[in-house]
Amino acid sequence: MQMLTRSHERPHDIAEHDLADSVLALAKRKGLTIVTAESCTCGMLAHALSQAEGAGDHLHGGFLTYTKTAKSAVLGVPAALLASKGAVCEEVARAMAQGALERSPADIAVAVTGVAGPAEDEDGNPVGLVHLAAARRGSPVLHVRKNYGNPGKDEILRLAIGDALRLLRCAAEG
């Protein structure tokens, strides 16, 4: 059986699209709005959400903070934390999510920081290590650590976006 796809999509993009649609549908049912804070995914998560039905009403946008300097200046991640722990760790992912929530009117923020490759980062973190966090007003911050190995940059990014959408759904479910 042949899978029908949009002309610009690969088959795995359809699963990502369906997941983004389900997250936005849940946000609509719950009356929630979303913001992203992205490092290694460089806005691809916000883009995935922007393609889903209801994005105009429930996606506030995203923060692209690829460098440590941007994480600190834009999201308020403490420079001392970045200096001591590096950019790819649980504490930074949590701080990114909280910073995005504090700097937007959104109800939920999801953050992604990791190493997509092709080589380890400046702090020696391996390719494939990704930390994700989701913050919802009035709730504890959720965190997930993933080590995808090194299946290639595109695959790491695809996996990270899927996991970020799943974490976002968990935060929206409350």
Amino acid type, 62: G
Please give the share of the chain, as a percent, with pLDDT higher than 70: 92
The beta strands (E) that lie in 95-141 are given as: 108-114, 129-136
pLDDT digits over 105-134, tens only? 999 999 999 999 999 999 999 999 999 999
Please give the share of the chain, as a percent, with pLDDT higher than 90: 89
- CATH topology for 30-173 is Maf protein (3.90.950)
Backbone φ and ψ for 11, nearest 5 degrees, come out as: -55, -40
pLDDT digits over 131-152, tens only? 999 999 999 999 999 999 999 9
User: What is the pLDDT at residue 8?
Assistant: 42
Which residue, among 72, 3, 57, has the nearest Cα to 25 in the 3D structure?
Answer: 57
Note the residue count of the chain.
174
**For 78, which DSSP code?**
-
Q: What is the pTM of this model?
A: 0.92
Neighbour count for residue 96 (Cβ, 10 Å): 31
pLDDT band with cut points at 50, 70 and 90 for residue 103? very high
Assign 3-state DSSP to the chain and report helix, strand, coil percentages, each to 5: 45, 20, 35
How far is 152 from 134, CA to CA, in rounded Å?
Answer: 25
Q: Is pLDDT at 3 greater than 50 in this prediction?
A: no
pLDDT digits over 22-46, tens only? 999 999 999 999 999 999 999 999 9
Backbone φ and ψ for 93, nearest 5 degrees, come out as: -60, -45
**For 139, which DSSP code?**
S
Mean pLDDT to the nearest integer, 63-77: 98
Q: Greater confidence, 10 or 81?
A: 81
CA 73 to chain centre: 19
Is the omega angle on the peptide bond into residue 11 within 30 degrees of 0, that is, cis? no
